[in-house]
Amino acid sequence: MSGSPTSDVVATGSITIPIMKRLGYSKRFAGAVEVAASTGGSAMPPIMGSAAFILAEYTGTPYREIVYAAVLPALLYYCGVFLQVHLRAVREDLRPYGDDMPTLWGTVRLGWPFLIPIGIIIGVLMAGYSPVFTAGAGAAAVVAAAMLTARTRMTLWRIVEALAETTLRILPVAGACAAAGLVIGGLSMTGLGMKAANVIIEVSGGAAFATLVIAAIVTIILGLGMPTPSAYILAAVLVGPALIEVGFPMLASHMFLLYFAILSALTPPIAVAALAAAAIAQEDPFRIAFSAVRLAVLGFLMPFVFIWNPAIIGQGDPVQIAMIAVGGMAAAAAIAVAVEWVCAASKVLGWGQRIMLLVGAVAAVAPEPMIASIGIVGTVVLLGVFYKRSQTEQVSSQTKNST
C-alpha cells in the first residue's frame, strides 16, 4: 500500500525479520524474504504503488483495467516467493513458531478497524473515482476507524502530527518526481526521448527479444537508488517509445517497464530495499540483495511473458486467461523447485532435472494452446515424479539409519 519497497521493509521488517531469525532462517535469507515480499507490494492489486497511477495517466488506461491486468502476475509472483520459502524451510527442517502464535480470531478482534480504510479505498477505486479523491477518502476513513476503539483513538493533536509526518514522508518522492518531470520536459522539448528510443532499436537491430532485454537493463539502471515512480516515468519516456515502435502493445509495454522499475529496488549494486533490511537483519546488504534477486526470479521473468502471451494481463478470451493461469502456476512451481534445487526433504536435483523443469515452465506459458497443454502436463508429471522419488529415497535413508 505504501508504494515504496524501502518504506515497507522498514515498517514490517522490524517485526518479520526477527521472527524469521527466531524460527531458524539465516539473517541473509530473512532479510531477502522481507525485501522480495515488500518489493512485490507495489505491483499487488487492488491498491498498487503510486507508479501504477502514473501509468494510468500516461497511457490513458483506466486504473480499474490496470488492476485487472496486474492481479494474475502479482499472484504468480507471490506464489513463486512462497514456494521458495517453503522449500527452504523443508530443506532445513524448520519447525512451526510454537504455542505462543496469536490466533486468527484474536488478531481480527484487535485489528479489525484497520480493515475499514482498506475496504473504502478499494471500493472508491473500483467505483471509478480519481486517485486524489480516493486518497482523501482513505485518509478520512483512517481517522474515523481510529475513533472506534480507545486503543487507537486519535486526538486533534495526533491528527496534526500524522499530517506533519505524512508531509515529511512525501517530500523525497515529490522531490524525485519533480526532478524527473524536469528531465522529461527537457527530453520532450529537445526530442532526445525519441532519439534514445532510436538508439535502443539501433543497438538491438530491431529484434524483439533483444529490444526487451535492453529495455529491462536500461529501466533497472534508471531505477537504481531512485523511487519507483521516478524510475517508471524516466523509463516510459526513454524506453517506452522503442517498445511501441517495435510493435508491442501499449499496456503490455508499460507493464513491462513498471515491473522492472519496481524490481530495481532490490537489484544490486544499489538495492535500496536491501540496505533497509540489512540494518534490521544485521547482515551485509549485498548478500541480502543477491538472495532477494533469487527469490524474486519469477518477477524478472514475468514481464517477458506480458509481451509473449498477453493473456497473463487479461488481454485475451476467458479460455486463454484460464490456460495461462494454470500454466503460470505450474511454471511458478517448476521455477521454485529448480532455483531451490529440491523437490522434497533434502533431495537435491541435478542440473539435467532442473533444465527439464525450466523447459517445461517455458512451454506451460506459451501462447499456443497445444504447446501450453503439453508444457503444463509435462511440468506437473515431472514435479510428481521428482517428489515421489525424493520421498522414497528419504524413507529408505531413514530405514537404514534406524537399523
Cα separations (Å) of 313 from 107, 172, 253, 300?
Answer: 34, 31, 11, 16
Span of 32-41, 94-103, 323-332 with lowest mean pLDDT = 94-103
Percent of the chain with pLDDT over 70: 91
Measure CA of the first residue to CA of the last residue in the chain; give whole Å. 55
Spatial distance between the Cα atoms of 191 and 188, rounded to a whole number of angstroms = 5
Asked, for residue 322, whether it belongs to a domain, the answer is no
Spatial distance between the Cα atoms of 42 and 270, rounded to a whole number of angstroms = 18
Contact 127, 63 (CB under 8 A): no
Of the candidates 108, 141, 147, the residue with the CA atom closest to the CA atom of residue 122:
141
Q: Is the pLDDT of residue 292 over 90?
A: yes
- Please count the structural domains in the chain: 1
Asked, for residue 365, whether it belongs to a domain, the answer is no
Asked, for residue 258, whether it belongs to a domain, the answer is yes
Percent of the chain with pLDDT over 90: 46
Q: Is the pLDDT of residue 395 over 80?
A: no
Which residues neighbour 38 within 8 Å (Cβ) at sequence distance 6 or greater?
5, 6, 8, 9, 12, 13, 273
pLDDT computed for residue 57 by the predictor: 83
Contact 179, 230 (CB under 8 A): yes
Look at 101 and 265; give whichever has higher pLDDT.
Answer: 265
Average of pLDDT values for 294-313? Answer: 96
Asked, for residue 337, whether it belongs to a domain, the answer is no
Look at 12 and 230; give whichever has higher pLDDT.
Answer: 12
Tell me: the pLDDT tens digits for 222-237?
Answer: 888 888 888 898 899 8
pLDDT computed for residue 77 by the predictor: 97
Contact 253, 315 (CB under 8 A): no
pLDDT computed for residue 180 by the predictor: 66
Average of pLDDT values for 79-92? Answer: 90
Q: Which residues partner with 342 through β-bridges?
A: 348
Q: Is the pLDDT of residue 345 over 70?
A: no
Domain that holds residue 108: 5-315
Contact 141, 130 (CB under 8 A): no
Q: Is the pLDDT of residue 377 over 90?
A: yes
pLDDT computed for residue 346 by the predictor: 52
Q: What is the mean pLDDT of the chain?
A: 87
CA-based torsion, 379, 382, 384, 386: positive or negative: negative
Look at 177 and 85; give whichever has higher pLDDT.
Answer: 85
Asked, for residue 297, whether it belongs to a domain, the answer is yes
pLDDT computed for residue 305 by the predictor: 96
pLDDT computed for residue 182 by the predictor: 77
CA-based torsion, 162, 168, 173, 179: positive or negative: positive
Q: What confidence tier does 397 reach under pLDDT thresholds 50, 70, 90?
A: low
Residue 20: Cβ-neighbour burial (10 angstroms; 0-12, 13-18, 19+): buried
Average of pLDDT values for 278-303? Answer: 94
pLDDT computed for residue 75 by the predictor: 96
Site of grid cell 513463486: 80
Asked, for residue 134, whether it belongs to a domain, the answer is yes
pLDDT computed for residue 234 by the predictor: 87
Asked, for residue 390, whether it belongs to a domain, the answer is no
Of the candidates 306, 314, 323, 319, the residue with the CA atom closest to the CA atom of residue 372:
323
Spatial distance between the Cα atoms of 157 and 148, rounded to a whole number of angstroms = 18
Average of pLDDT values for 369-376? Answer: 95
Asked, for residue 391, whether it belongs to a domain, the answer is no
pLDDT computed for residue 306 by the predictor: 96
Spatial distance between the Cα atoms of 35 and 275, rounded to a whole number of angstroms = 9
pLDDT computed for residue 50 by the predictor: 81
Tell me: the pLDDT tens digits for 245-290?
Answer: 999 999 999 999 999 999 999 999 889 999 999 999 999 999 999 9
pLDDT computed for residue 265 by the predictor: 92
pTM: 0.87
